[in-house]
C-alpha cells in the first residue's frame, strides 16, 4: 500500500520528478485525501476480486487507467465529481472477474464474445448465461453501497438507447456512460489496443452528449496519456 501511494504521488500527474515524495506523509499531502482514497480503493479491489484468467490479464491495471482517465475527464467537465468518475471507471467492468469466478464456462464465453461480429458482447453473455457483466457489476456495486448513479451507469453502460430523447435515465448517469466510453478509448490508445465496437458505433453520441469535439479529444489524449504510465 505504501509503495502504491508513493508511486502515484511521484507520477507525472503530480510533477513528482522535480521533488519526489519520500515518505507516506509527503505522498498523502501531495495526493490529497480524496485521491489517496481512490488509489487505495483500486489497490484493495484488486486483491478482493482476483482476475486470474488469461482472458482477463491486466484487468485491474486497465481498470485503473480507465479510472484515472475518468478523473481527468471530470476535471474538464463542469459539475462532474472526480471521485464519482474515478469510482465508475474502476468498477465499470467489475462484473467480468466476478462472473469468471462464479459462472461455469464464462472463460469460453469471453473468447466467443470477442470473436463474434453478428451480436454484441453482452448479447453473447446473455445467450450463454442468461445474464451479463453489466447486470452482475451493478449488483456487486449495490451490495457494496456505492453511489446510486455509479451503480445505474454500470448497469446501463452498454445500453446506448439511454441517449434517446424520451429515455428516463438521469443526466448524471448518461454523463458517466459517455465519459466512460471516452476513458476506455484513452486507455486503449495507451495500451495499443484497437477501438472496440462500442467506440466505433457510439463515439459520436458520447461526444455530442459531453459537448466536446475531435480537437478536444485530441488535446485530452495528449494531456492524459503520460499520466497513465505509472498505472
Taking the alpha carbons at both ends of the chain, their separation in whole angstroms is 14
pTM of the model: 0.85
Q: Say if CB 63 and CB 49 are below 8 A apart.
A: no
Minimal CA–CA distance to 120: which of 160, 151, 92? 160
109-123 pLDDT, tens per residue? 999 998 998 999 999
pLDDT at 99 over 80: yes
Cα–Cα distance measured from residue 148 to residue 6, given in angstroms and rounded to the nearest whole number: 31
Distance of CA 17 to the CA centre of its chain: 27
CATH of 34-228, one of 1.10.3210.10, 1.20.140.10, 3.30.210.10, 3.40.640.10: 1.10.3210.10
Q: Which residue has the higher pLDDT, 24 or 137?
A: 137
pLDDT digits (tens, 9 = 90+) for 172-205: 999 999 999 999 999 999 999 999 989 999 999 9
Which residue has better confidence, 153 or 36?
153
Residue entry with cell 515524495: 21
Residue 174: CB atoms within 10 A of its CB come to: 22
Whole-angstrom Cα distance, residue 98 to residue 162? 25
pLDDT of residue 168: 75
The pLDDT score that the predictor gives to residue 216 is 96
CA 195 to chain centroid: 15
Spatial CA neighbour of 159 closest among 188, 134, 182, 184: 134
Report domain extents, the chain: 1-31, 34-228
Using the predicted structure, report yes or no on whether residue 41 has a pLDDT greater than 60: yes
pLDDT at 39: 81
Q: Which three cell numbers stand for residue 230?
A: 505509472
pLDDT band for position 93 (50/70/90)?
Answer: very high
Amino acid at each position: 500500500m505504501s509503495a502504491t501511494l508513493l508511486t502515484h504521488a511521484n507520477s507525472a500527474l503530480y510533477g513528482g520528478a522535480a521533488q519526489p515524495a519520500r515518505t507516506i506523509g509527503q505522498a498523502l499531502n501531495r495526493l490529497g485525501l480524496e485521491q489517496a482514497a481512490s488509489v487505495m480503493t483500486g489497490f484493495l479491489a484488486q486483491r478482493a476480486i482476483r482476475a486470474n484468467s488469461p482472458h482477463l490479464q491486466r484487468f485491474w491495471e486497465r481498470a485503473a487507467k480507465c479510472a484515472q482517465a475518468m478523473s481527468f475527464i471530470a476535471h474538464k467537465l463542469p459539475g462532474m465529481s472526480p471521485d464519482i468518475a474515478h469510482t465508475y471507471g474502476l468498477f465499470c467492468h467489475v462484473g467480468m472477474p466476478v462472473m469468471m469466478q462464479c459462472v461455469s464456462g464464462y472463460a469460453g464465453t469471453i473468447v466467443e464474445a470477442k470473436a463474434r461480429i453478428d451480436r454484441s458482447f453482452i448479447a453473447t453473455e446473455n445467450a450463454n448465461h442468461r445474464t451479463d457483466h453489466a447486470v452482475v457489476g451493478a449488483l456487486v456495486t449495490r451490495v457494496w453501497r456505492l453511489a446510486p448513479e455509479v451503480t445505474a451507469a454500470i448497469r446501463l453502460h452498454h445500453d446506448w438507447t439511454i441517449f434517446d430523447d424520451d429515455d428516463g435515465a438521469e443526466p448524471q448517469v448518461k454523463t458517466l456512460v459517455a465519459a466512460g466510453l471516452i476513458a476506455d478509448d484513452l486507455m486503449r490508445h495507451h495500451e495499443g489496443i484497437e477501438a472496440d465496437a462500442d467506440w466505433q458505433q457510439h463515439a459520436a453520441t458520447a461526444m455530442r452528449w459531453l459537448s466536446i469535439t475531435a480537437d478536444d479529444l485530441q488535446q485530452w489524449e495528449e494531456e492524459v496519456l503520460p499520466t497513465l504510465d505509472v498505472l
